[in-house]
Amino acid sequence: MDMVTSMPLEANSNGQILQAEAELFCHSFGYLKSMALQSVVKLRIPDVLHRYGGAASLPELLSTVPIHPNKLPYLPRLMKMLAAAGIFTAEDVPATVGDGEPTTLYHLNAVSRLLVDDASVNGGASMSPCVLLGTVPLFLGASLKLHEWLQSEEQATTETPFMLAHGGTLYGIGGRDSEFNTVFNKAMGASSEFVAALAVRECRDVFAGIKSLVDVAGGNGTTARTIAEAFPYVKCSVLDLPQVIQGISSHGTVEFVAGDMMEFVPPAEAVLLKYVLHNWSDQDCVKILTRCREAISHGEKAGKVIIIDTVVGSPSQQILESQVTMDLSMMMLFNGKVREEQNWHKIFLEAGFSHYKIHNVLGMRSLIEVQP
Ligand SMILES: C[S@@+](CC[C@H](N)C(=O)[O-])C[C@H]1O[C@@H](n2cnc3c(N)ncnc32)[C@H](O)[C@@H]1O
């Protein structure tokens, strides 16, 4: 019998094998990196470093971070691991004469600056709430079910890994869990602040000249508010489900409309769909986009749909990995998906649109302008 063998061991150098083994070890314990990151966010260590001017020595950290005195010797190990993972930058400082011990200075870097609760440092919004959502027990429980879900005969449309783990949908189970709801809403708000600020800065032309915009499934209105502040002549409204709209107090600049986007989208010159379509199947996206096309077709000239979502295929390895990780999380939580350009093209055509333009200026996500 012919056998197909993978590359024999001896073809790899010893160094390559040992490097690969170390890499595999880190991947297998990758959840420890997530949990160490969650711990420093809960202990607000990035804010402590910021208060020390962006860098603090171990003694400074140990005297400030709120941990039990019994655990002081353990904090340096957490910091060392996260510095090795690139989340902080460690600098060894030799002992100065008469000053005793050498120490380590931990600096904020580009990654941990995003966790500081100060807009002048994080560039728009702290990403700490997003770290807390990514590591929430309901999500971890769902991830433990991935392989069982892949082997189950149940249709993905009726059972997600999240449902297999928790016996209900994310919005159903999560909606009844006030602690989860708080974490979820804070993360959505932080991500919206960050992305909306970026979008109005990087894509001013896309919004220029628009007189009215409805943010479909716009949640608590953070994005709509940012757009209304940046472009005061745009009349902004938010459409979301009645149970979401009920809990929101009106902000003056933004109007809130309760409804189901599958049924009706209020007329406007522009419709925004930010991080909505990745929750839905192609068939549902075509339905939502069709309602949006009807909403922008009331004026003298057809308006546009502005989508902020992922277009998989970045040439940057880091961004590509974030895009396919987002895809897996959508699969696990909603049976949703993150799309490549050809998939976007197909659903735009099916919903009656003929033009689109992708602006790749928002890192792991893109802004897509779509017109009939
Ligand atoms: C992932 S959140 C995105 C929220 C917001 N666009 C953002 O970027 O923060 C999805 C939103 O879709 C809303 N939603 C779900 N089904 C909906 C429907 N049928 N009609 C309107 N909104 C809906 C949810 O209530 C939720 O606010």
Q: DSSP 3-state helix, strand, coil percentages of the chain (rounded to 5)? A: 50, 15, 35
For residue 355, list its beta bridge partners. 371
Higher pLDDT among residues 176 and 352, named by residue: 352
Active site annotation includes 50? no
Residue 368 has pLDDT above 70, yes or no: yes
Record the pTM: 0.89
pLDDT for 124 equals 78
Q: Phi and psi (nearest 5°) for 38?
A: -60, -40
- Distance from chain centroid for Cα 83: 22
Structure tokens, 366: 């893109």
Higher pLDDT among residues 302 and 146, named by residue: 146
Q: What's the rounded Cα separation, in Å, for the pair 317 and 14?
A: 26
Q: Which of 55-69, 85-99, 134-148, 318-332 bottoms out in mean pLDDT, i.e. has the lowest? A: 85-99
Residue type, 306: I
Q: What's the rounded Cα separation, in Å, for the pair 355 and 337?
A: 22
Q: Which of 169, 171, 188, 335 for a ligand 1 pocket mutation test, highest count of atoms within 8 Å of Cβ? A: 188
Q: Ligand 1: does its nearest atom lie under 6 Å from the Cβ of 274?
A: yes
For residue 255, list its beta bridge partners. 237
Domain edges within the chain: 12-118, 197-371
CA–centroid distance, 215 to ligand 1, in Å, is 10
Task: Count the helices and strands in the chain (H runs, E runs).
Answer: 19, 12
Instruction: Of 120, 124, 110, give the one whose Cα is nearest residue 195.
Output: 124
Q: Which of 241, 243, 338 for a ligand 1 pocket mutation test, highest count of atoms within 8 Å of Cβ? A: 241
pLDDT digits (tens, 9 = 90+) for 321-346: 999 999 999 999 999 999 999 999 99
For residue 214, list its beta bridge partners. 237, 271
Confidence of residue 174 (pLDDT cuts 50, 70, 90): confident
Q: For the chain, report the end-to-end CA distance as a whole number of angstroms.
A: 58
DSSP string covering 35-60: HHHHHHHHTTHHHHHHHTTSEEEHHH
Confidence of residue 5 (pLDDT cuts 50, 70, 90): low
Task: List the catalytic residue out of 50, 278, 345, 359.
Answer: 278
Mean pLDDT of the 200-218 span = 93
Is domain 12-118 in CATH 1.10.10.10, yes or no? yes
pLDDT for 10 equals 57
| Residue 32: count of CB within 10 angstroms of its CB | 13
* Superfamily grouping for domain 197-371: Vaccinia Virus protein VP39 (3.40.50.150)
For the chain, the average pLDDT equals 92
> Closest ligand 1 atom, CA of 219?
27
Mean pLDDT of the 195-213 span = 92
